[in-house]
Structure 1
Amino acid sequence: MVQQEKQYNEYLSSLNIEEIMATGQKAKHLHLRRKSRRLEAKVRQLKKPGPPRSAYAFFCIEARQPNQKVTEEAKVLAEKWKALPESEKQVYQRRAEEDKRRYNDDMIDWEMCMQQTGNSEILQKYFQERNTVENVKKHLVKRLTQCEESLGG
């Protein structure tokens, strides 16, 4: 145990300040992600409605060829979607808008149910956590971009 601690201290002393900061940010991000996953699992158990489908998702469901490899199928579907006239895309866009309305209605019902069953605390944590994780991700991307720009990348 003492030897491991000694090796760990030697390792830490060999790091420069940028590496230490990066390690700290990575650990913080991993901690938030782990915490977020646990919370999302609780929310899933409480049967939170799934997100609305996009127009492209509706198109893929209809145009899918089940006997193709997933990668090939994704390429073919993307090409078909790009080649699809705007008038035909609007059919899928309307379906996506309807699905978004359905989702919003279901979310209102679900949130009311959470409050009635005494799960409003989980609901608050969920939305706070989502906001925190998204902010951390945005911050890390911004910092990475700044580092790349300063290095001339």
Structure 2
Amino acid sequence: MPIAALTRTLPGLPPQGGIEPVSLRALETRLAVEAPPDGVLSPLFWQDGDVMEAARLLWCLEFSGPYRIVSPPLPRPGMVIDEVLAHFPGLDIALVQLPPPYGGPAGTPRRRAEGREGDGDAEPEGNEDGPDDQDGNDTWDGNDGGGPHEG
């Protein structure tokens, strides 16, 4: 269960309580029927959802506590916050960037072109390193300048 309902001593949260892992559906029930949590913590992406789904739920149910999003280091973390707030204004959100393994996998794998047929170990056609992958490791990892979506 990737989402946590927070009631623990953390910056900006009350000094009593604990952290309770919950599903998005359980969080919806808790927000709509039960006492809402003091805060909500989720990863940027998880197997069955993403930050936009959680933000939509929190916004629709008028959650007023802090919503914290955990992610690996990102080149432009403000873009995540701006995107969420553009759709769901007024949420108290912040991005908490943690290095792997806590924040998820490092970097985003770059798509490789397939080699020629019958050429098992051939290099992929084209320039897989491209201008964004300046350190040559086929992964945009924050050490490459720019970003994977700059053009």
Structure of higher CA gyration radius: 1
Instruction: Give the TM-score taking structure 2 as reference length.
Output: 0.22
Comparing both structures, which one devotes a greater share of its residues to helix?
A: 1
Q: Give the TM-score normalised by the residue count of structure 1.
A: 0.22
Name which structure has the greater RCO, CA cutoff 8 Å, separation 6+: 1
